[in-house]
Amino acid sequence: VERGRAEVYVPAWLRLPARLRGAAPGPFRVLARRFGRP
């Protein structure tokens, strides 16, 4: 809210998976299954 952003990720490195999911949902699903997310 203070910075005027719609989304804030803590820790900041979590932005990467969120952006990958939005940009390439297919590869994201493959990687998520591979690394433990159902």
Secondary structure of residue 13 in the 3-state scheme: helix
Please give the Cα distance from 17 to 5 (Å, whole number). Answer: 18
DSSP state of 21: H
Give residue 1's pLDDT.
57
- Pick the residue with more confidence: 38 or 6? 6
Please give the Cα distance from 23 to 28 (Å, whole number). Answer: 9
Q: Where are the alpha helices (DSSP H) in the chain?
A: 15-23, 25-34
Cβ contacts of residue 17 below 8 Å, gap of 6+? 28
Q: For 4-36, what is each residue's pLDDT tens digit?
A: 777 777 787 888 888 888 999 999 899 889 988
Give residue 37's pLDDT.
60
DSSP state of 3: T
